[in-house]
A and B are shown apart, each in its own frame.
Chain A
Amino acid sequence: AQTVTQSQPEMSVQEAETVTLSCTYDTSESDYYLFWYKQPPSRQMILVIRQEAYKQQNATENRFSVNFQKAAKSFSLKISDSQLGDAAMYFCAYRAHSGAGSYQLTFGKGTKLSVIP
């Protein structure tokens, strides 16, 4: 079974600084997707960024970028120029591209990010 591990239960960052959230995963699949979701206090699940495993290039979305290391099974999220609105729980998630695993997102336990003014 696939597993997703987020080793940092809590992180903090000064406003306008850069922070990196870590995620590792375990899979025997070669084609899959990785995601970072943001969950603010409103409880809404918001997709931050998505990476397709077959793509070498790291995904970026404005101030959010990932460092995808397929061989190391590592998928970290970098938030640049941190803003107060970035404070939230961040979840790393995995999904297989095909087969039964494609119908399930496997989530890590989350990292709570605090932004210090």
Chain B
Amino acid sequence: NAGVTQTPKFQVLKTGQSMTLQCAQDMNHEYMSWYRQDPGMGLRLIHYSVGAGITDQGEVPNGYNVSRSTTEDFPLRLLSAAPSQTSVYFCASSYSPGQRKEKLFFGSGTQLSVL
């Protein structure tokens, strides 16, 4: 039972570098999302997807790109990393949010530091 798998678990970048955080789920979930968690803050939504080919912005989308070419994968791209993007990133997935019994499954997080 893999659930939601995030890679890498830790990453250090220099300002201006680009990278992709990977997220994969094996539960055939339609909904996938990316959150960031900063010290003293709760999680905030960056982007989400309700199916392959469909993405939308969340609360804090600036500086991040996403795409959803398959049901299983939802990568998060930082095109030009900035120190303000130092954070812990969580990927989460679920069945359609409209279903009353849906449960959000979280990955184990990626600690990203931008120097």
Contacts and interface: CB of A to CB of B under 8 A. Distances in A.
5 contacts: A44-B106, A45-B106, A95-B97, A98-B98, A109-B42
Contact of A107 (B42, B97, B103, B108): B42
B97 A103 contact: yes
Interface string A1-41: 00010000000000000000000000000000000000000
Contacts of B106: 44-45
A11 B50 CA distance: 37
A110 B98 contact: no
Interface residues of A, number: 22
A105 B106 CA distance: 12
A91 interface: yes
A103 B59 CA distance: 11
Interface of B: 31, 33, 35, 40-45, 48, 50, 56, 58-59, 88, 90, 92, 97-98, 100, 103-104, 106, 108-109
A56 interface: no
Contacts of A107: 42-44
A103 B97 CA distance: 6
A19 to B, nearest CB: 20
A104 B58 contact: yes
Contacts of A103: 31, 33, 48, 50, 56, 58, 97
B39 to A, nearest CB: 10
A104 B33 CA distance: 9
Contacts of A105: 35, 43, 45, 104
B90 A45 contact: yes
Contacts of A109: 40-42
A110 B42 contact: yes
A91 B100 contact: no
A49 B56 CA distance: 28
A52 interface: yes
Contacts of A47: 103-104
B90 A104 contact: no
